[in-house]
Amino acid sequence: MTTTLPEGAEAGAAICGVVCRIPKGWVATYGQVAAMAGLPRRARLVVYVLQHLDPASVVPWHRVVNAKGEVSYTPSRNGSDGVQRRLLEDEGIVFDGRGRFALERYRWLD
């Protein structure tokens, strides 16, 4: 990672460790990753960590989505939201006309 985390490197490592376990073709929510990393109610920290990954990172950040079963679109992502959707589609995630997918079908349950 290219940035110092507010909670220290341990939190970032725990988050990345969970994200790296998400299998291809599956997703987890930001809150789910936070809870699994031992950081309950810290979904925004997950967002922060994933947005600040080194571009050369092998962490599959694209497999983490919001709780509505959507890619979170925001200008601060500088276009990575479109990249995220394409990567998920490449893994077999099917989006509907509103840009959502069936979270109950694709959610990874470790």
Q: Report pLDDT digits (tens) over 8-50.
A: 789 999 999 999 999 999 999 999 999 999 999 999 999 999 9
Q: Is residue 93 part of a domain?
A: yes
**pLDDT, tens only, 49-75:** 998 999 899 999 999 999 999 998 777
CATH of the domain at 90: 1.10.10.10
Q: Is residue 78 part of a domain?
A: yes
Count the domains in the chain.
Answer: 1
Q: Is residue 26 part of a domain?
A: yes
Predicted local distance difference test score (pLDDT) of residue 46: 96
Kindly state the tokens that stand for 94. 């099917």
Q: Is residue 22 part of a domain?
A: yes
Q: Is residue 2 part of a domain?
A: no
Q: Is residue 1 part of a domain?
A: no
Q: What is this structure's pTM?
A: 0.88
Q: Is residue 75 part of a domain?
A: yes
Residue bearing the bigger pLDDT, 9 or 98: 98
Q: How far apart are alpha carbons 30 and 15 in whole angstroms?
A: 10
